[in-house]
Amino acid sequence: MTKTTKCPICNNQAKWGYYSGPYGIEEEHVNCQKCGYYYEFAYGNYLEAVRGKEYIWHHTTKYTNPIFKRIKRDLFMARRNWKKLRKNYNKNP
């Protein structure tokens, strides 16, 4: 099933699709055409792509793992750069 959701970077509409089975949501993906953000969950494995960098982890990965700190930093930088880009674009169309 495909719906739309808000992109965590640019706040535009992103395509959100999922497959649910007898155990709940088994596959899920979010894809934003505007800024290139991509997120995928499939059977316990996660993939998140931010600014051309891909991060892959498993549902048993502890939250203290450095990968989560890197993802958080890259999401912050992507949001900041997106705001700067939009601000400059609105000044000089």
What's the distance, CA 60 to chain centroid? 19
Residue 81: band (very low, low, confident or very high) from pLDDT cuts 50, 70, 90: confident
Residue 87: band (very low, low, confident or very high) from pLDDT cuts 50, 70, 90: low
Task: Give the pLDDT score at 22.
Answer: 87
- Can you tell me the mean pLDDT for 62-70? 88
| CA-CA-CA-CA torsion sign (80, 68, 5, 42) | positive
Query: Helix/strand/coil (H, E, C) string of 24-68?
Result: EEEEEEEECCCCCCEEEEECCEEEEEECCEEEEEECCCCCCCHHH
Model's pTM, two decimal places? 0.76
Question: CA 50, CA 26: separation in Å to the nearest integer?
Answer: 22
- Tens digit of each residue's pLDDT (9 = 90 or more) over 1-48: 679 999 999 989 999 999 988 888 889 999 998 888 999 999 889 999
Residue 68, token pair as written in the block = 């989560």
